[in-house]
Chains A and B, each alone.
Chain A
Amino acid sequence: MSERLSRRTVLHGLGVSLALPLLDAMLPQSVLAAGTVRPPKRLAFLYVPNGVHMPDWRPAKVGSDFDLPATLVPLAPYRDQLLVLTGLTADKARPHGDGPGDHARAMAAYLTGAQPRKTAGANIKAGISADQLAAGKVGKATKFASLEIGCEGGRQAGNCDSGYSCAYSSTLSWRTESSPVAKETNPRLVFERLFAVGGKSSAADFKKAAYKRSLLDFVAEDARGLKRRLGGADQRKLDEYLSGVREIEQRLARVEKASDYKGVPGGYKAPSGLPRDMGEHLRLLGDMMVLAFQADLTRICTFAFANEGSNRPYRNEIGISEGHHDLSHHGRKKDKMAKIQKINRFHIEQLAYILGRLKGVKEGDGTLLDSCMLSYGSGNSDGNRHNHDDLPVLLIGKGGGTIRPGRHLKLPRETPLNNLWLSLLDRMGVKVDRFGDSTGQLTGLEG
């Protein structure tokens, strides 16, 4: 009680009013214990660059009797949770008069369904992404509105793809049409961020949090004052600043209420840092996503296995010395296509590991995987042709019983990928009529 009072004094002392929404915390542990509410749904977008070798990806048979082609074989244990989607198109990844740059466009359009503006720097623009749309609407329920992770950070040299800023080919998540959301690549830093100590309400901690709020309040006022004086593009930068401040403020408010903070699920130990082996890197980042879902720190995650156009070799992992992107321009040469397939399968093996972890977590009457809507795919289909129709896309999990997996669903050709995202957003409780180039929800996910 006295702590609560002291917080008020602090804010009063600063002479400013803090309009912090005291949010109704949905604390799943306690809620679930009461046994009245279903587990929350989780939404994840996993991305692989450079397309895949489609002949080894697309099942020959449609429906629940579908086969698992070579690349998808590692998913056999999760066949009943797997929905293979054929026929989706990312139309906005196509040039539409902008010439080359399919890699940059593929990633920037994947979750936005918006034509990325061709620019190497000034005025970058795509569209708000599906995950950020969801984070904006339902992210308040958790400590983190969303989580963005990936193995490769922003690129560090040169022009990324044919006159497109590197932001496009390294970003899935767009908070607004002009604000790409950076991803965290280091599993240790993700862990520390997720599980930073919070909620232990000793008087000292409480005071510290209150000071932090006052500090944020101070700098937000700076930013608002500055913004009034500056011009268009500058104002956008200050908006980014302010929305960052707001997000931290909201988190502080939540931490204060999360008095039943239970620590790290399963006593998972902090990862030591950046692994050299990409498989280990992917699995550790996957662990972070699973932990975040399990502890209900967030319900929305984007996870880029690598940046679009990534040219890393997979030498240590699977003995492939050539760069991934170089190989994807296989010119229909057999040995190169075989290597591409090997890389695709390697990625799918890591996916299988993540699914195993999700399935290993009991939640409600089922497992965490049952609550998930985890998509996995690429904005390119065949890396050699750079086509953006017939995309390789998987949807995994039951979405809390709203999806009937265990099928190969063939959609009409040129079905907008955003129709899938719209359907998933709807299941997350995000009601929008359309976004990006969507034309309506997909039918048939329920079976």
Chain B
Amino acid sequence: MRTLALLALFVLAASPSPRADAAPPSYARDVAPLIGKYCLRCHSAVKPRGGVRLDRDRDDDAVRKALRLWEKVGDNLRSGDMPPAGAKKPTPAEMELLDRWLDAVVYKVDCRGERDPGRVTVRRLNRAEYNNTIRDLVGVDFRPARDFPADDVGYGFDNIGDVLSLPPLLMEKYLAAADKIIDEAWKRPELRKRLMPRSPRQGGMLYNLRQFATRAYRRPVGDEEVKRLLRLVRLALEQGDGPEVGAKLAFQAVLVSPHFLFRVERDPPGKVGAISQWELASRLSYFLWSSMPDADLFRLAREGKLREPDVLQEQVKRMLANPKAQALGENFARQWLNLRTLRSFSPDPKRFPGFGAELRQDMLRETQMFFMHIVRQDRSVLDFLDADYTFVNERLARHYGLKDVKGPSFRKVSLQGTPRGGVLTHASVLAVTSNPTRTSPVKRGKWILENILGTPPPPPAPDAGELKEGELKGTLRQQMEQHRKNPSCANCHARMDPLGFGFENFDAVGRWRTHDGKYPIDAAGVLPDGSKFNGPRELRQVLLGKKEQFVRCLAEKLLTYALGRGTERGDRCFIEEIAKNTAKKEHRFTALVLEIVKSDPFQKRRGKGGKK
């Protein structure tokens, strides 16, 4: 909602229209009659279909206030999904007018002038971040957050400030964890030394507390803050306990303090402002490491150098080369590709007897290594779509029908001459998009639309139902084609199903097959835009042909993850730029990360004066 109001403030001019001279159509005069003619029979006050009502907004201003709705209307009109099959469709001339109006009013985003970098809600450390931060801060690595309640997911990721809540149960866990962590560190002399570099008995306590709190809060701490901590130490002394008891209490308090548990960013004065150097250091480290900044980042922040382009570039490269960058694979890639659900995927053992916990682990390992290879070798992100290599051990190689791989360790192998290539043919992805008993071309198609092309289909009608296996005849594909005759399902399935069919040669656990039961596999398809393919290799070429769309999709996902907030309308300009600049640098992964890190949404934040 906030975004939309802001839009009204700006004068807009995005994609230059070929008919810039023609007077822009207006809703009241030109569009409303068409909406009335083609849409209102279903989408008005009485029993609105899908809950969508189009009879409320009367003019362009009203439409601008309900852009979320009207964007969907536009999407549906342009995809031909609406009006549905069987209903009367707008004539080409009418559609041309609608198109012009959509561009001028609904899709228009101004990329000139002042831009809104957005404002992220204070982020609580999620479980992975908590574990890693404790590891880097204290040195204990027993993953204390294992027993914390699961972090909720929003926009596909579990690091979204708005979504990360703090229920009382979690507060209890923080308290208990702090106790355990400090106790654990106290038992190990080298770790204790890290917490207490100076002797508390010779006035070193103030120093010890300050250096710990500075690192824990990821910013300089004020004298008053340190003094308050020192009061906890004194308290123990007054109770007749030694300074160590008090020190432990103070360290625990730091680990339960909101300054540690939340990543706090201060609103800049005025409308928009740069975040502080310290905040930038944290944004970088939690983005690429899911952890706190290290000494180098802290030093650069202290020196005020972190924003210098050379420094930033150097730091990104250094951070991506660090082992801690594995977190990007575990947290970003695994969530982007929906692989966290693989843990609960349990295919029918009668049909897939070879599937077990070890193979499941191997599948995850392959994708993790593949992702990290692209990161570390700074490969083109198009490798995600089509690469002639992957990583397997003997068990996974056998699963894939690859020869000459022996032993349990993973290695890079060539896929030349095989039907595989890119994440789409990883067993992990093929499995999470399957049902327990069979493949699901619909789920696979939907997965590609959501995670590769960035054009998620709308959800199905509630009464759409699943395949009625008994009543339909023939192969799964033939059955689905019969099912698709239902006009209310047809349009979306025309987008999803062919994409999924292209991968039908891979069964529900990702093995190659030429037959499904007694039927030979037919992996040919035609997309709504007319592109044709037969089999996974050709489908990958079709997808590579849509590489701009893919890079934009990946940029949006990575930006969401980097910021910890959902992207808004105003972010489109940034995403577009990030994607374009990445393309200029051969689509290298580091280029993508750098573009994100340099972008306004990452470097700046909207202030209180910039209310939307």
Chain A interface (Cβ < 8 Å from any Cβ of B):
6, 9-10, 13-15, 95-102, 120-124, 148, 153-163, 165-167, 170, 175, 179-186, 189, 193, 207, 211-212, 214-216, 218-219, 221-223, 226, 229-231, 233-234, 237-238, 240-241, 243-245, 247-248, 312-313, 315, 321-323, 326, 329-331, 333, 335-336, 384-386
Contacts and interface: CB of A to CB of B under 8 A. Distances in A.
Interface stretch (B16-24, B160-168, B521-529): B160-168
Contacts, number: 245
B465 A329 contact: yes
Main secondary structure, interface of B, reads loop
B468 interface: yes
A248 B168 contact: yes
Given A10-B238, A122-B162, A160-B153, 14 more contacts: A9-B238, A14-B232, A100-B461, A121-B566, A154-B150, A166-B163, A175-B167, A233-B121, A233-B162, A241-B262, A315-B346, A315-B436, A330-B466, A333-B471
Contact of B239 (A9, A95, A216): A9
A181 B168 contact: yes
Interface string B315-346: 00000000000000000000100111101101
Contact of A215 (B167, B232, B339): B232
B213 to A, nearest CB: 11
Nearest to A156: B340
A234 B235 contact: no
A248 B147 contact: no
Centre residue among B121, B175, B262 by max chain A CB count within 10 A: B121
B270 interface: no
Interface in B252-295: 252-253, 256-259, 261-262, 264, 266-267
Interface in B99-157: 119, 121-122, 124, 147, 149-156
B346 A313 contact: yes
B50 A182 contact: no
Contact of B235 (A13, A102, A315): A13
Contact of B167 (A155, A179, A193, A230): A179
A157 B154 contact: no
Given A157-B339, A214-B232, A226 B162 contact: no
Closest 4 CB pairs of A and B: A121-B154, A244-B171, A182-B149, A331-B465
B164 to A, nearest CB: 8
A331 B258 contact: no
B121 to A, nearest CB: 4
Nearest to B564: A121
B239 A234 contact: no
Interface in B34-79: 48, 50-53
Contact of A123 (B162, B167, B232): B162
Contact of A333 (B175, B258, B343, B468): B468
Nearest to A189: B147
A154 B153 contact: yes
B168 A243 contact: yes
B228 interface: yes
B470 A333 contact: yes
B353 interface: no
Nearest to B351: A321
Contact of A101 (B151, B437, B459, B471): B459
Contact of B169 (A97, A148, A218): A148
B462 interface: yes
Contact of A158 (B152, B341, B565, B566): B341
A293 to B, nearest CB: 19
Contact of B462 (A124, A189, A230, A386): A386
Contacts of B349: 315
A245 B171 contact: yes
B388 interface: no
Contacts of A212: 175
A226 B231 contact: no
A121 B166 contact: no
B170 interface: yes
B51 A95 contact: yes
A15 B231 contact: yes
Contact of A157 (B153, B162, B168, B463): B153
Nearest to A121: B154
B364 interface: no
A166 B52 contact: no
A322 B436 contact: yes
A154 B170 CA distance: 13
Contacts of A218: 228-229, 232, 253, 257
Contact of B150 (A182, A241, A321, A385): A182
A226 B264 contact: yes
Nearest to B471: A333
A179 B171 CA distance: 14
A98 B51 contact: yes
Nearest to A14: B235
A186 B468 contact: no
A160 B566 CA distance: 15
Contact of B466 (A120, A148, A160, A326): A326
A312 B466 CA distance: 17
B122 A121 contact: no
A231 B51 contact: no
Contacts of A165: 152-154, 163
A284 B246 CA distance: 40
A137 B121 CA distance: 31
12 contacts: A99-B52, A100-B458, A156-B341, A219-B257, A226-B258, A234-B121, A241-B262, A243-B168, A315-B346, A321-B437, A329-B466, A385-B463
A6 B122 contact: no
B504 interface: no
B234 interface: yes
B153 A237 contact: no
Contact of A96 (B51, B172, B234): B51
B249 interface: yes
A386 B338 CA distance: 26
B163 A207 contact: no
A180 B167 contact: yes
A163 B50 CA distance: 14
B236 interface: yes
Contacts of A245: 171
B304 interface: no
B608 interface: yes
B158 interface: yes
Contacts of B156: 157-159
Contacts of B163: 121, 124, 165-167
A13 B436 contact: no
A243 B172 CA distance: 11
A230 B122 contact: yes
B581 interface: no
B460 interface: yes
Interface in B153-203: 153-156, 158, 160-172, 175
A167 B468 contact: no
A315 B48 CA distance: 40
Contacts of B238: 9-10, 13
Contact of A154 (B151, B262, B450, B464): B151
A323 B175 contact: no
B232 A156 contact: no
Contacts of B464: 329
Contacts of B214: none
A159 B262 CA distance: 24
A99 B168 contact: no
A181 B350 CA distance: 39
Interface string B460-493: 1111111111110000000000000000000000
B604 to A, nearest CB: 16
A313 B437 CA distance: 11
Nearest to B262: A237
B565 A121 contact: yes
Nearest to A98: B51
B342 to A, nearest CB: 9
A148 B234 CA distance: 38
B338 A120 contact: no
A13 B169 contact: no
A67 B489 CA distance: 41
